[in-house]
């Protein structure tokens, strides 16, 4: 009786694995594949070689065994495109702005810098901007047009005491020196 109990499970296992049909098919495949790819580009350089072998077997029908060997070598280019530059529309390292246009007085200069008094470009809120640090010309270092009463003597002024110009002062309101006989009692 013990033998019957041992044979029955084995017989069931054999029938289950065979699929129970007479039209069962068995497929076996063995193959080897070699592959090689080479590419070259002109921008940037990255190279490498990859080689591998894969062998596998699956149990049951169909049975498949395979081996694959491949090799790839080549040169790859940088996919980001051209190097960053001022005017490309992206704020890159060293840039404070980048509006990608050739308009200097629109809030971002063509040098990718924020506008400021003294940069040589007249921006909103500036009367002038000669790009220098001199108050002895027609544009002050505050980017205001030089004139009588600004506290800086420029041609054709004889004097300029700023807000202190006026009657009874050493410098009159017209930036002329208060002298005897000019009709103003000086200091």
User: Within a domain: residue 160?
Assistant: yes
Place of tokens 């007085």: 105
**Is the bond into 62 cis (omega within 30 degrees of 0)?**
yes
Asked if the structure places residue 75 within a domain, the reply is no
- Its pTM stands at 0.44
In a domain, 68, yes or no: no
To which residue do tokens 């129970």 refer? Answer: 20
Residue 86 lies in a domain: no
| Gyration radius (Cα) of the chain, Å | 45
Lowest mean pLDDT among 48-62, 97-111, 151-165: 48-62
| 146 neighbors 152 (Cβ within 8 angstroms) | yes
- Considering the domain boundaries, does residue 100 fall inside one? no
Residue 181 lies in a domain: yes
Number of domains making up the chain: 1
CA distance 47 to 32: 26
Question: In Å, how far are 55, 76, 78 from 34, measured between CA atoms?
Answer: 13, 22, 28
Residues 132-160 pLDDT 10s: 998 888 898 999 998 999 898 888 899 99
Nearest-angstrom CA–CA distance, 184 and 136: 28
Q: Does some domain include residue 165?
A: yes
The gap from C-alpha 63 to its chain's centroid, in whole angstroms, comes to 54
β-bridge pairing 63-75 and 28-39: parallel
Question: Which residues form the domain of 154?
Answer: 148-187
CA 138/CA 11 separation, integer angstroms = 112
Q: What is the pLDDT of residue 88?
A: 94
Dihedral in degrees, nearest 10, Cα atoms 146, 150, 151, 157: 50
Among the ranges given (34-38, 78-82, 96-100, 133-137), the one the predictor scored with the smallest mean pLDDT: 34-38
167 domain residue, yes or no:
yes
CA 125 to chain CA centroid, Å, is 30
For residue range 20-51, list pLDDT tens digits in order: 444 444 444 455 444 444 444 444 444 444 44
Q: Helix, strand or coil for residue 20?
A: coil
Tokens 């005491």 appear where? 161
Mean pLDDT of the chain: 73
């Amino acid at each position: 009786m013990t033998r019957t109990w041992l044979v029955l499970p084995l017989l069931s296992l054999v029938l289950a694995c065979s699929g129970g049909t007479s039209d069962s098919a068995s497929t076996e495949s063995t193959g080897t594949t070699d592959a090689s790819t080479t590419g070259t580009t002109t921008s940037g350089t990255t190279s490498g070689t990859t080689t591998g072998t894969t062998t596998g077997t699956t149990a049951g029908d169909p049975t498949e065994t395979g081996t694959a060997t491949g090799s790839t070598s080549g040169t790859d280019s940088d996919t980001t495109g051209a190097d960053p530059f001022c005017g490309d529309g992206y704020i890159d390292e060293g840039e404070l702005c980048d509006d990608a246009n050739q308009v200097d007085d629109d809030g971002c200069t063509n040098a990718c810098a924020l506008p400021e008094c003294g940069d040589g470009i007249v921006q909103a809120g500036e009367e002038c901007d000669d790009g220098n640090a001199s108050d002895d010309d027609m544009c002050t270092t505050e980017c205001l047009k030089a004139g009588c009463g600004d506290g800086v003597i420029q041609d054709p002024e004889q004097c300029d005491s700023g807000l202190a110009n006026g009657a009874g002062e050493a410098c009159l309101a017209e930036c002329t020196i208060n002298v005897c006989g000019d009709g103003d009692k000086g200091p």
